[in-house]
Structure 1
Amino acid sequence: MSGELRIVLYGQSGQGKSTLGGIILGNREIFTSDKDSKKCRKERKTITGRDVVVVDTPGLFKVDDDGEEVVEEIKRSIKQAEPGPHVFLFVERFKEISQEKLDALKTFQDTFGKQAVDYTIAVFTTKRKEIDAAFMQETLKSLRRLTDQFQQRYFVFNIRDEQQGSQLDELLGIINKMTGEKCQPFYTSKMLQEAEEALKTRKETKPKPEEEWRSFYDRCGLIGMAVGCAAGYFICGGELTIRTCVTGNVIIFAY
């Protein structure tokens, strides 16, 4: 396939994301040399006659990082991959599902929107020399909550394997197949803007904690009134009057 290929790497810190980006470009140290970088980094290389652009984003969930600041920086990857990335590689270790993996997925969906999922492939990295079939099957079963989100588009990449060339060819083949099936071949800045607006709307319509508590107390008050009326009805010999009902939280009985 001719034309430029633009890739954005996304994921948590320490999952092999930057190493994978380096492997794609033929220099596994190109992104890992600056491990403390909190900025997006863009590199390019011609691979078999095709320009390949890789944008590495800051890793999520570092203890000393401001989460919102990191997310804002990650958004800048779209500009660095102008006019937009053909694919997001959602990079995670090839291990059983964890809450952190699910949190990373939610942050991704909140940041880039539902449309971004259609441009995403999950890449699970491993350093195991050999992966037996039973382990592969069990781990993939555990990871289905992730892979289902991406319509089962995933790839297990051994970042220690000496035969990385064949793995890379296979991964690029999956990317080319996915992009070739789309009317809009890449994710756009307009899609990002729509995702930002959708997230803003959700935040504005979500009840604030104090509003939720106020609603809870109001419901409790209505329940208390109903119970008070019923109690007064029976205690007063079956006669329901205003005096058998509740004033505030105090039941007024008729004598």
Structure 2
Amino acid sequence: MSGELRIVLYGQSGQGKSTLGGIILGNREIFTSNKDSKKCRKERKTITGRDVVVVDTPGLFKEADDGEEVVEEIKRSIKHAEPGPHVFLFVERFKEISQEKLDALKTFQDTFGKQAVDYTIVVFTTKRKEIDDAFMQETLKSLRRLTDQFQQRYFVFNIRDEQQGSQLDELLGIINKMTGEKCQPFYTSKMLQEAEEALKTRKETKPKPEEEWRSFYDRCGLIGMAVGCAAGYFICGGELTIRTCVTGNVIIFAY
């Protein structure tokens, strides 16, 4: 396939994301030697006659005070890959599902929106010398909550394997097949803007905690009154009046 190929790497810190980007470009240290890991970095190389651009984004940290700043920098990857990336590689370790993986998924969905799903392949990295079928199937079963979000588009990449060349050819083949099937071949800045607007709308329409509690207490009050009226109805001999409801709610005055 001719033309430039633009790839954006996304994922948590320590998942092999930057190493994978280096392997794609033929220099596994090209991103891992980056001292400023909180900034996007763009590199390119001609592979089999095709220009390949790889943008490495800051890794998501499990506990980060500057999480919003990291997300804003990740968004800038779209500009680095102008006019837009053909594919997001969502990089995770090939291990069973965890809350950190689900958090990374939610951040991805919130940041890039639903349309990004169609441009994403999950790449699971591993350093295991050998992966037996039982381990492979059990781990993939655990990870279905993640892979289901991307129509089961995933690839297990052994970043320690000496046969990285054949793995890379296979991964690039999957990317080319995916992009070739789309009317719009790459994710655009307009899609990012739509994702930002959708997230803003969800935040604005989400009830505030105090409003949720107020609604809860109001519902409890109505339910309590209904129960009280029913009880009062029987206590007062089948007569439904204000006195009935008051009696049922145990507010009884003696004269």
- TM class by smaller structure: over 0.9
In structure 2, the CA distance between the partners of 1:164 and 1:134, relative to structure 1 (3 Å rule), is same
User: Contact 1:221–1:249 (CA<8 Å) still a contact in 2?
Assistant: no
| TM-aligned CA deviation for residue 254 of structure 1 | 8.3
Spell out, residue by residue over 1:27-48, the C-alpha distance to the aligned partner (whole angstroms, 9 max, x if none). 1111101255101111111111
User: Contact 2:231–2:248 (CA<8 Å) still a contact in 1?
Assistant: no
Q: Please, which runs of 5 or more residues in structure 2 have no aligned partner?
A: none
State the TM-score, normalized to the length of structure 1.
0.95
| TM-aligned CA deviation for residue 237 of structure 1 | 2.2
Spell out, residue by residue over 1:65-118, the C-alpha distance to the aligned partner (whole angstroms, 9 max, x if none). 421111111000001100000000000000111111111111111110111000
Q: Which region of structure 1 is more displaced relative to structure 2, 21-30 or 58-67?
A: 58-67
User: Contact 1:15–1:93 (CA<8 Å) still a contact in 2?
Assistant: yes
In structure 2, the CA distance between the partners of 1:247 and 1:27, relative to structure 1 (3 Å rule), is farther
User: Contact 1:111–1:195 (CA<8 Å) still a contact in 2?
Assistant: yes
Spell out, residue by residue over 1:11-35, the C-alpha distance to the aligned partner (whole angstroms, 9 max, x if none). 0110000000000011111110125
Give the distance between the partners of 2:114 and 2:213, measured in 1 at CA.
Answer: 31
Instruction: Name the SS for the 1:6 alignment partner.
Output: strand
CA RMSD in angstroms, aligned pairs only: 1.8
User: Contact 1:232–1:253 (CA<8 Å) still a contact in 2?
Assistant: no
User: Contact 1:42–1:53 (CA<8 Å) still a contact in 2?
Assistant: yes
Q: Which region of structure 1 is more displaced relative to structure 2, 77-86 or 29-38?
A: 29-38
The equivalent residue for 2:186 is 186
User: Contact 1:6–1:84 (CA<8 Å) still a contact in 2?
Assistant: yes
Give the distance between the partners of 1:247 and 1:56, measured in 2 at CA.
Answer: 70
Q: Which region of structure 1 is more displaced relative to structure 2, 51-60 or 242-251?
A: 242-251
| TM-aligned CA deviation for residue 247 of structure 1 | 9.8
User: Contact 2:229–2:249 (CA<8 Å) still a contact in 1?
Assistant: no
The equivalent residue for 2:5 is 5
In structure 2, the CA distance between the partners of 1:250 and 1:205, relative to structure 1 (3 Å rule), is farther
User: Contact 2:230–2:248 (CA<8 Å) still a contact in 1?
Assistant: no
| TM-aligned CA deviation for residue 230 of structure 1 | 1.9
Give the distance between the partners of 1:254 and 1:136, measured in 2 at CA.
Answer: 75
Give the distance between the partners of 2:199 and 2:22, measured in 1 at CA.
Answer: 33
| TM-aligned CA deviation for residue 250 of structure 1 | 6.0
Q: Which region of structure 1 is more displaced relative to structure 2, 114-123 or 34-43?
A: 34-43
In structure 2, the CA distance between the partners of 1:247 and 1:171, relative to structure 1 (3 Å rule), is farther
Percent of paired sites with the same residue: 98
Give the distance between the partners of 1:254 and 1:236, measured in 2 at CA.
Answer: 15
| TM-aligned CA deviation for residue 185 of structure 1 | 0.3
State the TM-score, normalized to the length of structure 2.
0.95
Q: Please, which runs of 5 or more residues in structure 1 have no aligned partner?
A: none
User: Contact 1:43–1:53 (CA<8 Å) still a contact in 2?
Assistant: yes
Instruction: Name the SS for the 1:65 alignment partner.
Output: coil
User: Contact 2:229–2:248 (CA<8 Å) still a contact in 1?
Assistant: no
Instruction: Name the SS for the 2:76 alignment partner.
Output: helix
In structure 2, the CA distance between the partners of 1:62 and 1:36, relative to structure 1 (3 Å rule), is farther
| TM-aligned CA deviation for residue 233 of structure 1 | 1.9
Q: Which region of structure 1 is more displaced relative to structure 2, 105-114 or 31-40?
A: 31-40
The equivalent residue for 2:59 is 59
User: Contact 2:232–2:248 (CA<8 Å) still a contact in 1?
Assistant: no
Give the distance between the partners of 1:185 and 1:247, measured in 2 at CA.
Answer: 70
Give the distance between the partners of 2:65 and 2:33, measured in 1 at CA.
Answer: 19
Give the distance between the partners of 1:107 and 1:248, measured in 2 at CA.
Answer: 50
Give the distance between the partners of 2:38 and 2:61, measured in 1 at CA.
Answer: 12
User: Contact 2:228–2:248 (CA<8 Å) still a contact in 1?
Assistant: no
| TM-aligned CA deviation for residue 238 of structure 1 | 2.2
| TM-aligned CA deviation for residue 198 of structure 1 | 0.8
Instruction: Name the SS for the 1:245 alignment partner.
Output: helix
User: Contact 1:123–1:156 (CA<8 Å) still a contact in 2?
Assistant: yes
